[in-house]
Amino acid sequence: MDIPEKKLSGIKQLYLDKKFIEAEELCKGWIKIYPQSAGLHALLGASLEAQMKDKDAADVFKLCISLLPDSSSSYYNLGVVQYKLKQYEDSLVSYSSAIELNDKYVEAYDNYGVVLNKMGRHEEAIFKIKVAIKLNPKHLNAYANLATAMFGLGRYKDVLDIYTKEPNLHKTAVDWAKMLPSAKVLKTFNPNEYEAYCQKNWFVDERDVVNSVDLKLFYLYLKRDLTGNKREDLLKSVINTMHLKNSTEIINPKPTKKNSNNSPITNIIGLKGIGRSGTGLMHGLIDGHSAVSTMPSIYFSEYFDPIVWKTLTAAGWNKLVDNFIATYYILFDSESQAPVPGKYSEKITGRGVADGMTALGVDGNESLYVDEDIFRAELKKLISYCDTLNQLTFFQLVHRAYDKAIKDINTKNSIFYHIHNPTLGSELNFIHYTPSARWLVMVREPIQGLESWVKNVEKDYENIVTYIVETIFEIDQPTYGYQDSIGVRLEDLKLKPEATLQAICGWIGIDEEESLYEMTQQGKRWWGCPASPDYKVDGMLPFGTTSIKRKLGSIFSENDQLILRTLFYPFSVRFGYVEENLEQFRLDIKLIRPMLDKMFDFELNLAEDKNITVDKFICSGSYLFLRASLIERWNILDQYGSYENMLKPLIIEK
């Protein structure tokens, strides 16, 4: 006997309303009465998957298949969670079964290609994904996955054709981000063809760029080799366009006519880092300062993505606070698996556990909890005094309500915002809203920082390339000249904490306090991020020096280091990591140029480890993108001898 449809519909509605825990509990209760109901089990599996309980979801979907062997959707759902569990071969089998039962299953063909891409089997992926597109030419995800497969084979021109010529695609920030590497490769290795391509295709025509924020971001990235006023003018143009497109205010239908202390905190400090450079440590030290309002972890890093604000305001003023709590529920329960917005609308789960927010306190057995009812009541009261709200004013009031909820009664004059490693769109939207904000950027000896960053993904070549490119460009940003920005060396923070923290306090405009010398989150002892190479059973010491004394060479050979050290030379001189030696630098610049056309030693080791031939490796899109990016940096140094928009170091009194 199956569960009545009316009861099943009620559970479905809970799931659609994203009340996954309630849906799970109801499913489990009704399964005791209707143990053979495939529909109940399917909903239970979906609710578990939504909470990122993938192992449990896989078991439930297998049970669904045993109850209803002809259900293609059960095989498909099983394939989804198996992929998330990195059971790639099993995932392929499940998708194959779904397709055997339904040869028109567009999503199954597409996801089959996604798994093949992950396994490096790009030719096979192209075949499967093209079937999905043939079945449904408007299935947009398939085009992005097809582009990924093309890029994996080094077919960067095909990638650009997909994104510029396919009429069904709506150009979004995600699309532009996926186009960037291919455009960069074309620009570097086929400059004449690139110029002709620009003239033929509207997406990089400077005259049309003024009409779209996404296009402007794309253009800004491609024009990173501009110097002087051109870069600053382009940056201002992007931010002004964002003002026109994203300054969405929500109107209070019934404002309260009462006086309130709603004056916003305008001294906002954005915290981010270059590579792996100790942003978590800096955040943990600032936490607990009586004059500073700050939120735990990096949950908020993509808050200024315009899509986040659209999501929060979608149901209108009266649902704004509830939507915020649902979107950032992890703020109130660090053990929650509820996802938070990540880059390009990706959903990030388990952030509280991953960042050590569930191992706090003297004994490391406490979790962060905040009373959401107190927070809700306070935030609703605060916004009731506002006639309108935008993304910034709501952000400021959220901090006030959060301080109230954690019983912090101190008067705040600063917000310390751990924006971490945001997308370009989120960062520029933050700048648009907060033109007077300042940047505290953590830095570290660049090669050491890179090795620390890639250590956890040393066999994932695509990620390694991303980290190298991000780091080599992050040292030279027009935003550093647009707003007050300082770089703080991790080495200084570790070796001379008192002088460094005193200088930081002076720069922020706060007093030195004892709390600055303890790593905390919400006032509780924080032992560091468990993913850190320096995290041990008993956690991390704030001013331990293991990380900055680690020898180089775990990833990059001496030849690799020579190339990177030369490209980082202006930055390293400015921050005192190397002595200035212009004569040697000029020699090294000439020496490394032919080396950029060859494989790095770490790439040779990776190819051997993965049993990939050299010919195949050097044809990959990631290989070409790394060369294009490093050659662009080399051209700047060869022509100008330095980078124009580098950070200024924090001045520390001796």
Better pLDDT: 207 or 467: 467
Q: What sign results for the dihedral spanned by CA atoms 111, 116, 119, 123?
A: negative
pLDDT band at 538 (very low <50, low <70, confident <90, very high): low
- Per-residue pLDDT, averaged over 432-445, amounts to 96
Instruction: Tell which residue, 384, 382, 420, has the closest CA to residue 399.
Output: 382
Better pLDDT: 569 or 238: 569
Is the pLDDT assigned to residue 136 strictly greater than 50? Answer: yes
Say if CB 42 and CB 32 are below 8 A apart: no
Is the pLDDT assigned to residue 26 strictly greater than 60? Answer: yes
Q: Which helix (H) or strand (E) holds 271?
A: strand 267-273
Report the length, in residues, of the chain.
654
pLDDT, averaged across the chain: 90
pLDDT band at 208 (very low <50, low <70, confident <90, very high): very low
Beta partners for 273?
Answer: 442
pLDDT, position 212? 63
Least trusted range by pLDDT, from 317-326, 328-337, 375-384, 526-535: 526-535
Residue with tokens 């001796």: 654
How are beta strands 267-273 and 414-420 bridged, if at all?
A: parallel
Buried b (16+ CB within 10 A) or exposed e, 545-566: eebbebebeebbeeebbebbbb
pLDDT band at 345 (very low <50, low <70, confident <90, very high): confident
pLDDT, position 81? 96
- Per-residue pLDDT, averaged over 120-147, amounts to 95
Is the pLDDT assigned to residue 615 strictly greater than 80? Answer: yes
pLDDT digits (tens, 9 = 90+) for 580-613: 999 999 999 999 999 999 999 999 999 999 999 9
Query: What angle (nearest 5°) sits at the alpha carbon of residue 51, between those of residues 49 and 55?
Result: 50
pLDDT, position 202? 52
pLDDT, position 209? 43
pLDDT, position 633? 95
Domain map (residue ranges) of the chain = 5-178, 558-649
pLDDT band at 244 (very low <50, low <70, confident <90, very high): low
Residue 538: how many other CB atoms lie within 10 Å: 8
Q: Which CATH superfamily is domain 5-178 in?
A: Tetratricopeptide repeat domain (1.25.40.10)
pLDDT, position 210? 42
pLDDT digits (tens, 9 = 90+) for 288-315: 999 999 999 999 999 999 889 999 999 9
d(CA 341, CA 305): 9
Say if CB 36 and CB 2 are below 8 A apart: yes
d(CA 110, CA 98): 12
Instruction: Tell which residue, 102, 80, 105, 103, has the closest CA to residue 92.
Output: 80
At 347 the three-state DSSP class reads strand
Instruction: Tell which residue, 100, 30, 33, has the closest CA to residue 65.
Output: 100
Instruction: Tell which residue, 194, 223, 221, 218, has the closest CA to residue 208.
Output: 218
- Per-residue pLDDT, averaged over 119-148, amounts to 95
pLDDT digits (tens, 9 = 90+) for 549-565: 889 999 999 999 999 99
Instruction: Tell which residue, 266, 519, 270, has the closest CA to residue 414.
Output: 266
d(CA 566, CA 589): 7
- Per-residue pLDDT, averaged over 250-263, amounts to 78
Is the pLDDT assigned to residue 205 strictly greater than 60? Answer: no
pLDDT, position 203? 52
| 243 token code pair | 């003002």
Least trusted range by pLDDT, from 247-256, 376-385, 635-644: 247-256
pLDDT digits (tens, 9 = 90+) for 67-90: 999 999 999 999 999 999 999 999
pLDDT, position 485? 96
Least trusted range by pLDDT, from 164-173, 339-348, 372-381, 525-534: 164-173
